[in-house]
Chain A
Amino acid sequence: MKLYKKEGNIIQILSFPNETVEKGDYLLIEDADAGKALIAQVIDVQFASIPGILEELLRSLPDGGELIQGEDFDPLEIAPHITYIQDASLLICKIRATVENESLSPSSSWLPSRSQSTIKKLPIPTLIKLAKIDGKLPIILGGTKDSSLLTIDATSLDGRLNIITGKKETGKSHLSKLLMLNLIGYKATVVVFDLNGEYISLGMTTDGKRNAYHDKIHVLTPSENFKVALKQLNLHVLLEILIHALHLPGTSAREFRRIWQSLKERDMLNMHELGETIRNWHCNQHVRDALFSRYYALVNSCFFTDNIAEAVFLEECLFKAKEQGGAIIINLRNTSPIDRQIVVEYLLAKFVELLTGCRLKAIFLFAEEAHLYLRETYWDDIVTRMRHFGIFTTFITNQPDTVRENIYRQADNIFLFNFTNEHDLEVVSRAARVDAETVKSIARDLPPHYCLGLGRVVKDFPMVIKVKALDVKTMGETRLFFKDMN
């Protein structure tokens, strides 16, 4: 390999056919005289612009498009040299860091010698060692391009905002399950908003037996085994639900506050009494109608109960998870969009309440397709305010444009699976810790179950990862009509 050109932090390297380099590989450009080396990542492989190549190709097809037949007597065996030159490739590389005295710096301000530099492939394990990517709390994500294991540090997810995105059936949920289970292994509290009921069997192996996580997975299905009693709620939580999920106007909300105070003073906070009080409350008829319509929405959700025995104490699950690590899976599979919002509003308000009171340490929240249940104003809230309370979110989506641009800008880690759509890649490339060229070039060619890890987890050295298989019942498979036909 030979150094050809450098423009900004893009370096172009001439590579010959006997040197097998692919997109995503890392190269070490060593300048022995300078005592430094550049670490560059191949983001694109192009044909080298060889003079005369067009003539060479045209010459081989002069006979109406058919290859002209003939014999070459080439006593000096020049033909292999011609092929060697013709097949030379140009590696477009992004400079990632400078190595000097075995320490890394993100600088690319120096220029290695074009004639004297030696260029070789940098094995991923060496890079991992240099960048200190694996830490004290290792999570094995899978394999790298050169078949070595890629281990990240669980602390790189702590306090961070993560995004897992990619087109359908590329393995996003699989990775989120892998991260989640590893976090549980380190006694973290994990909450999953499970839109499709994919996480509910994580406590089982693929052959249906209980696995090591079985006792740590708590599945809560709203209106089935997850109900709340009004007595368990704070007024502000219910108001959040009424205003944001059920769009209760301000005047009616003020009236509801008074109704709530009245019921609380009489120690009659239950759904039946709430209905009765609204019925008999002296207020404007429109306000009463507004309150009644929301009341029936609450009743119809079946999420609220007057039977305290029926009400699962979310806090209990959370405290159990706090002690020994665990995941609370909120199964939103058969929940209507409005009910989903009610549940999520309740949960987020509850988490903030518990975290601000220091009753919980922190929560790793995994949110699948969050745009389907997260109200507009919560996006910023989750990534800024709630992060300070200790809610560390991982968004999982196959529609990257549903996640707002400012979320990408603040994302600490991005796990990017294959996207072929230019628009999708454009959206993801807005993330602050990513350069657009890398995202667009590498993500487009990722095979299923391979992802591009970006951000703190890989110490800003983007890496292609083959996500390892899990021995858990993942339930993420799409139900097919023709599955049993063959």
Chain B
Amino acid sequence: MKIGETATGTLIAVRGANVWKQNKNYRYIRLGPFIFHITEENKKEVYNALQRAYFNSPHEQNQSSPNLLQMPTRIANLLERWLQTMLTKTINNGLILFDGSLTSGTADTPTPLMKEILETARKRRNIVLAFSKMTTLRFNGHLITDILLEHKPPYLLETAGLKTKPPIVLLGDVYVARLTKGNYAFRLDIDKQVAPKQKIGAVEKLLGNDLLSQSYPETLRLAHILCTFTANEVIAMQHFTAQAYKLKIINRPDMHKLLFGPFGKGDANA
């Protein structure tokens, strides 16, 4: 996330977390925060350096580097991919839950990298389940997660015939997962290369081993909570950058408020 602006660029902080359940207890590893001062001058260098460091093969080296506004998301995605890579390389016979989908082909999710991640997982007899909180996929005009069957949960609703425009590729089969009572359902992507029986078995194992609240796994919920920066952490990071690097954070005037007074929505609400 962006934690402040300096005269020459923006300050970005990213953090990632892995949560697992072991002997009925949840444990975590949290990495970060990593703070970057991104300017127009260094953004390309920073991005490429991270790619090289994380993946040893700059999948996107030929692409133009993202603009300053996109940098927080892009750097966060780099960290996320690296964490996913490391997990698939270290876990055996496990269920690996990703936050998001198994859609590839975007700037943040290069298809070769995602394929590599899934392949590594399979080699170590892991199954990757990816839960998306938001989806744009629709059926008959409705979001697929809004289609709630009369069936008693838990259930999976398999989607078929989903088509994507190149270069977007779906590396997983897409389901609507309603795993507990309540009106919540999530898009669930399961690695396409996994046999159908194993897919169902994986979800059954998830139901048996993790807590599920409002159809969402507790491990993912904890990972989210542990990653999220609270306001006082943001202040602490600003304090750190000011102390350690003498970077002065500037507060740019909100032009909406400045020009339109009470009618200006401001950046936060824009």
Query: Chain A: residues with CB nearer than 8 A to chain B?
Result: 50-53, 55-56, 59, 62-63, 68-76, 78, 81-82, 84-86
Contacts and interface: CB of A to CB of B under 8 A. Distances in A.
A140 to B, nearest CB: 45
B226 A59 contact: yes
B34 interface: yes
18 contacts: A50-B231, A51-B230, A51-B231, A52-B233, A53-B230, A56-B230, A56-B232, A59-B226, A62-B26, A63-B25, A63-B222, A70-B30, A72-B30, A73-B29, A76-B34, A81-B237, A82-B236, A85-B235
A70 B221 CA distance: 15
B32 A50 contact: no
Interface in B210-231: 221-222, 225-226, 228, 230-231
B235 A74 contact: no
B138 interface: no
Given A51-B232, A56-B230, A59-B226, A68 B237 contact: no
A408 to B, nearest CB: 44
B55 interface: no
Contacts of B228: 55, 59
Interface string B97-128: 00000000000000000000000000000000
B28 A68 contact: yes
B30 to A, nearest CB: 5
Contacts of A78: 33, 35, 233, 236-237, 240
Contacts of A74: 32-33
User: Most chain-A CB neighbours within 10 Å: which of B221, B222, B228, B235?
Assistant: B235
B31 interface: yes
Nearest to B22: A69
Interface residues of B, number: 29
Given A51-B231, A63-B26, A68-B222, A73 B236 contact: no
A55 B27 CA distance: 19
B5 to A, nearest CB: 18
B231 to A, nearest CB: 3
B196 to A, nearest CB: 34
A62 B232 contact: no
A56 B233 contact: yes
A62 B243 CA distance: 32
User: Most chain-A CB neighbours within 10 Å: which of B25, B31, B228, B231?
Assistant: B231
B75 to A, nearest CB: 15
Contacts of B25: 63, 69
A152 to B, nearest CB: 44
B89 interface: no
Interface of B: 19, 25-35, 221-222, 225-226, 228, 230-237, 239-240, 243-244
A404 to B, nearest CB: 50
A71 B236 contact: no
Given A53-B232, A81-B240, A70 B29 contact: yes
10 nearest interchain CB pairs? A52-B231, A52-B230, A70-B28, A51-B231, A81-B236, A82-B236, A52-B232, A55-B230, A50-B232, A81-B240
Nearest to B29: A71
A149 to B, nearest CB: 40
A55 to B, nearest CB: 4
Contacts of A70: 19, 27-30, 226
Nearest to B20: A70
Contacts of A86: 232
A52 to B, nearest CB: 3
B232 A71 contact: no
Nearest to A71: B29
Contacts of A50: 231-232, 235
Contacts of B34: 75-76
Contacts of B32: 73-74
A81 B25 CA distance: 29
A432 to B, nearest CB: 43
Nearest to A57: B230
A253 B228 CA distance: 88
B31 A81 contact: no
A72 B34 CA distance: 12
Contacts of A76: 33-35, 240, 244
A86 B233 CA distance: 9
A271 B230 CA distance: 88
A68 B18 CA distance: 13
B30 A81 contact: no
Contacts of A81: 236-237, 239-240, 243
A368 B260 CA distance: 71
A66 to B, nearest CB: 8
A418 B19 CA distance: 51
Contacts of A63: 25-26, 222
Contacts of A53: 230, 232
A165 B33 CA distance: 55
A361 to B, nearest CB: 65
Contacts of B30: 70-73
Contacts of B222: 62-63, 68
Given A68-B26, A73-B32, 16 more contacts: A50-B231, A50-B232, A51-B230, A53-B232, A55-B230, A63-B25, A70-B29, A71-B29, A71-B30, A72-B30, A75-B34, A76-B244, A78-B35, A81-B239, A81-B243, A84-B236
Contacts of B237: 78, 81
User: Most chain-A CB neighbours within 10 Å: which of B232, B234, B239?
Assistant: B232
A141 B244 CA distance: 48
A50 B230 CA distance: 10
A22 to B, nearest CB: 24
A259 B30 CA distance: 100
B233 A82 contact: yes
A68 B230 CA distance: 18
B251 to A, nearest CB: 15
A68 B29 CA distance: 11
A73 B243 CA distance: 21
Contacts of B225: 59, 62
A365 B26 CA distance: 71
Nearest to B31: A73
A319 to B, nearest CB: 72
A332 B117 CA distance: 93
